[in-house]
Structure 1
Amino acid sequence: RSRRGSCQFPAKVTAFIAPGTVFVPMHWGALWAADAEANNLTHPHACPDSHQPELKACAVQLKLVIPREPSGIFLDYNNK
């Protein structure tokens, strides 16, 4: 969650990204699951020159959520 909103995603702890870093594919969204839109977390700031939204960095807090039942829609790409 962030100051702007919250989302739910499956998580995997890995040594492949820097400690303290969270990566969420930005193309995930309502197509994949309810509450899975990463842009719910981001802020509305934009570059003053290009007007590109600053969507790729924001402070978040992680919270463990135990699902009531598996959704079955998230794929495990490591165990094909």
Structure 2
Amino acid sequence: MLRILRLLRVLRRLWLFTILRLLLRLWLWLFAVLRLLRVLWLLPVLRLLRIAGLLLILWWLLLLLLLLLLLLLLLLLGIG
């Protein structure tokens, strides 16, 4: 019984580590996309877009993604 509990603890830590690693990859991907958008922003075609509208869309997408990741974390930890 103790071995099973230890195994469950180790698996829970591995899940948490995997989620943290995915969050880090998400942040790195987001910064890469923002950097690419900043570079592409210099093109005349993309100057027609409004910065505020684009940033608002990115902000809501980021909030939605973080909410989904938090929900996944809660489900994996057994709280939800």
TM-score range (shorter-chain normalised) is: under 0.3
Q: TM-score, normalised by structure 2?
A: 0.21
Structure number with the bigger relative contact order (C-alpha 8 A, sep ≥ 6) is 2
Q: TM-score, normalised by structure 1?
A: 0.21
